[in-house]
Structure 1
Amino acid sequence: MEQTTLQDALNADEIAAANELTRSWLTGRAEVPAVASGLGIWPLLAVLATGAVEATLDELLEAAGLDIGQAADVPAALLDAVKSAPALNLALAAWAGPRVTLDPDWIGGLPVDAIGALTGDAAVDKPALDAWASRNTGGLIERMPVNLEEPIELLLASALSVRTTWRTPFDERAPFRSGPWKDAGTVLTACYREAVLRVSADTAVLTVPGGDDIDVLLALGLETTPPRDVLSTLIDAAADPAWGRPATELTAEAQPIGVTLLEYPSPQPQTGPEINAIVPAFKLDSDLDLLEDAASLGLELASDDEFAQFDRLAAQRLYVSQAKQTCTAVFSATGFEAAAVTAFGMDWMGAAPPQEMHRHRAVVVTFDRPFAYLARHRPSGLILIAGWVSELGA
């Protein structure tokens, strides 16, 4: 039987809702984190909503951008569809303590085999939860980001991972000679023969195509533009193929920030666009307390120990006492590359016939200061990971 794809499992409105949660959450924070996943939160809000009532339900559905029918269907549909995307892995699970009596209807709506048990003994529970996190992220994250020393009667969790290799490999070059990353980290260069760079008056957006339907998009804005605004513009550009204009249409009189034009002679005629990207490698990690963002995530009432209403979830009164996320992201050159310079000493035998030269026009975009990025599933447009690069990490 043919596997359901992400773009078939989720309609355009649902994908837009997931992406909008990413935007509203990250741009509503005091600082945009280095790496975060709105998609990791979105299905958990849906799962919570199916157990909530009244104002708590309304708040969760509004944050997730779903109605109650969609909230019941989206988690299982998302899990099933991710199986068709080789670069992605997504898992959802719940663990209940011995004192909680879960509603059978709520359990029935969860993905199969999603329920486990908590003993209440951190020495027993932690290794099992950490093993689940590691197993479902391919070892990228090795711990469950909750404090088991505090009482937890019910735990809901998602694990998301994405892996891809670049369609066009990067080369390494010398570190930047100026700017905030002077003499730091590894700088990568690649030349693209396709229109991967779009620009507006104040933003340049580069699409780095990966295999297995994954793209990573980078956005460089004006130095005076707040990170949240650069990220918001990047999300707009990711959703709209008509955003901005191709960098190949630029003129010398109108070059946006971070972009320069080059002309050079070549014995071969130019057959398409030439986009040269200069990007730093980065390795980023974040640990986020999501209750600090309760308003944008629809968790204000859900996390209120007096007013939370989850009557359809369990016989006992429950509220969200912890909400955390740990993330990691690595942008690097893939594989092994080697280079050699070979020179033959040659002397004149006579004048060579003149060779016709062709003028080439190339665009260079340089990410030599902080920028926004996101990873998306190319066919559906679903945003998987996003963040702000201000330090390059290890």
Structure 2
Amino acid sequence: MRLASTAIRAETVRAVNRLTSRWAGTLGTGGGVLSAAGVWPLLAFLADGAEGPAREELEDALGIRAGKAAEAARGLLGALGAMRGSAAAVGLWTRPEVELRERWVSGLPQATLGRLTGDEGADRAALDTWAKERTGGLIPTMPVTLDEETRLVLAAAQAVRTRWLQPFDDGELAPESGPWAGRCLNGLRRHTSLLDRVGVARTASGPLTVLKVLGDTGVDVHLLLGEEETGPGAVLRAGIDVLSGASKAVPGDLLPLGEQGPGLNVRNARSYDRAPTLRVTTSPFSLTADHDLLKSAELFGLTSATDRRHGHFPGISEFPLAIADARQSAVARFDAKGFEAASVSAMGACAGGAAAPPPYLVRRIDVDFDRPFGFLTVHRTSRLVLTAGWVAEPVDHVFEEFDETEESEA
């Protein structure tokens, strides 16, 4: 089942973002990336076939009733698949002795249905191929343990790609303070006259600077910078609060002069152009993460479901089933790509008098993400958080070596 539009029920968005916020709260300072939008549908389908304590715990993790969960998951996956630049899929593989309930299977949206043969090498190859194909090569392996006890594998894949409406320029980043100080790093820079792309919110975790980087597919990335002592989980939860409206961000064009937020300064500056300017400096990043969801079983409603003494999913199969493994592999990359251009610039000079000062006094906002920061990948229309993460380590700038031999021969 696939939706014709990217409309997602507000109740589903709130439920998925709630799980994102709770999960993000467990991120440490080492950085990482996660996607609750990729886990939530699996929990929903499990809840639909569960009974007893497992069903109750899954309901609590999902934030909606189990009887409505499968329908909500179908709507979510359909909407994800309908977004430009996005893809979503479900896969189900079982051993022959696991006879599935037709009602439950029919509720999986366009699922890949396959058999586990018991040949670990062949089964692993099939699952890895599915993961690689459904994510366009971003995730090359299926993050699940296969052994002789494995009877069923249920998986969901999600991928999203977007190009910036306004690209960045590559450059260098040399922080003067903070944990990245004293290093020469790869940096990204751009400027715009749209001051409302940035805002500052007063949240329960302190002031938060939020920068929206708009993509051409209706998917944006929100960069989040809190105070230096504020941890990753608190920053990401604050960003989700701003997204939901629980905390209000004052847009850049309404901010008074001065240092109004983390990494953000508002001032008046002379310019040859009448338009105000928002100047952004940030760091590119490439993150990968592997999550063992059972290490936080309570968070995902999987505590009772892992008790192998009982079967917990009679709505899925008469064969008694318990959860033995639950994992997620995630990747996120942010850079200046998405736009290619070439230009030739020439300047002629001659003797002249002193130049007149710039005639216009305009508002200028400088915002620098030059220390650890968070990010949310957001579907612009629904405000659904697709991925969340924390950038703890920047990319060092590599200088090209100067070859004196080639220079002398020239």
Q: What's the TM-score, normalizing by structure 1?
A: 0.91
Alignment partners' CA distance in 1, 2:344 and 2:241:
42
Q: 1:356 to 1:54 in 2, by over 3 A?
A: closer
Residue from 374, 377, 381 that aligns with 1:375? 377
Partner residue in 2 for 1:16: 14
Unaligned runs of 5+ in 1: none
What residue identity is the alignment partner of 1:246?
P
What root-mean-square deviation, in Å, do the aligned CA atoms of Structure 1 and Structure 2 show? Answer: 2.4
Partner residue in 1 for 2:197: 196
Residue from 278, 295, 307 that aligns with 2:281? 278
Partner residue in 2 for 1:263: 268
Alignment partners' CA distance in 2, 1:70 and 1:393:
44
Which 4+ stretches in 1 moved above 6 angstroms? none
Structure 1 residue 341, shift from structure 2 partner? 5.6
Structure 1 residue 184, shift from structure 2 partner? 4.7
Partner residue in 2 for 1:153: 151
Alignment partners' CA distance in 1, 2:45 and 2:350:
73
Structure 1 residue 214, shift from structure 2 partner? 0.6
- The answer (yes or no) to whether the contact 1:205–1:234 under 8 Å persists in 2 is yes
| Count of residues in correspondence between the two structures | 387
Q: 1:241 to 1:301 in 2, by over 3 A?
A: closer
- The answer (yes or no) to whether the contact 1:371–1:390 under 8 Å persists in 2 is yes
- The answer (yes or no) to whether the contact 1:36–1:386 under 8 Å persists in 2 is yes
Structure 1 residue 346, shift from structure 2 partner? 1.2
Residue from 206, 210, 219 that aligns with 1:214? 219
Structure 1 residue 186, shift from structure 2 partner? 1.5
Unaligned runs of 5+ in 2: 397-410
SS in 1 for 2:269: strand
Q: How does 1:283-298 map to 2 (within 5 A)?
A: 283-298=286-301
Does 2:343 match 1:342? no
Partner residue in 1 for 2:401: none
- The answer (yes or no) to whether the contact 1:198–1:243 under 8 Å persists in 2 is no
Q: What's the TM-score, normalizing by structure 2?
A: 0.88
Partner residue in 1 for 2:96: 98
Structure 1 residue 351, shift from structure 2 partner? 9.6
Alignment partners' CA distance in 2, 1:187 and 1:347:
36
What residue identity is the alignment partner of 1:365?
V
Structure 1 residue 113, shift from structure 2 partner? 4.1
Alignment partners' CA distance in 1, 2:17 and 2:376:
11
- The answer (yes or no) to whether the contact 2:257–2:267 under 8 Å persists in 1 is no
Structure 1 residue 30, shift from structure 2 partner? 5.7
Does 2:231 match 1:233? no
Alignment partners' CA distance in 1, 2:343 and 2:131:
40
Q: How does 1:234-249 map to 2 (within 5 A)?
A: 234-240=239-245, 243-249=248-254
Structure 1 residue 148, shift from structure 2 partner? 1.7
Alignment partners' CA distance in 1, 2:381 and 2:149:
42
Partner residue in 1 for 2:361: 359
Q: How does 1:135-174 map to 2 (within 5 A)?
A: 135-149=133-147, 151-174=149-172
Structure 1 residue 75, shift from structure 2 partner? 2.7
Does 2:255 match 1:250? yes
Alignment partners' CA distance in 1, 2:311 and 2:370:
46
Deviates more, 1:106-115 or 1:358-367: 106-115
Residue from 79, 82, 86 that aligns with 1:81? 79
Structure 1 residue 254, shift from structure 2 partner? 5.1
